[in-house]
Amino acid sequence: MATWNAWGEDDPYCWVVICKNHKFHRQQNLFSGHKIPLGETDAFSPPPELDFRMTVRCDECGQEDTYDPADLVRMQMSFAPNFKPHPLFA
């Protein structure tokens, strides 16, 4: 989630989907689910035009699921140092 920073540096925006493996992530984030970052964006760009379901592997639990284009959400969050964008967002 976005947080205010005294130095004026905001976390980047990215496209994410929520992992469907609720059982694995339940103890970490009960209410909002684990966000899987897919690629960097900005605050104003529209989502990419996808007319098919995409397959995404969770960066924490490793489960691979398919997601509808409507499951794509823009979030402001920091990336892990070893983050690699999903091939559709590279």
- Please check whether residue 3 lies inside any domain of the structure: no
- Please check whether residue 19 lies inside any domain of the structure: yes
Please determine, for residue 2, whether its predicted confidence score (pLDDT) is greater than 70.
no
Q: The tokens of 31 are what? A: 């209410």
- Please check whether residue 2 lies inside any domain of the structure: no
Please name the helix (run of DSSP H) or strand (run of DSSP E) that holds residue 54, with its range, or none: strand 54-57
Task: Provide the domain count of the chain.
Answer: 1
Q: What is the pLDDT of residues 36-88, one digit of tens each?
A: 999 999 999 999 888 999 999 999 999 999 999 999 999 999 888 889 999 98
Please determine, for residue 28, whether its predicted confidence score (pLDDT) is greater than 80.
no
Q: Which residue has the higher pLDDT, 82 or 30?
A: 82
Range of the domain at 68: 13-79
Q: Give the Cα separation of 78 and 90 in Å (integer).
A: 17
Least confident residue range of 1-10, 21-30, 57-66: 1-10
* CA of residue 23 relative to chain centroid, distance: 18
Query: pTM of the entire structure?
Result: 0.82
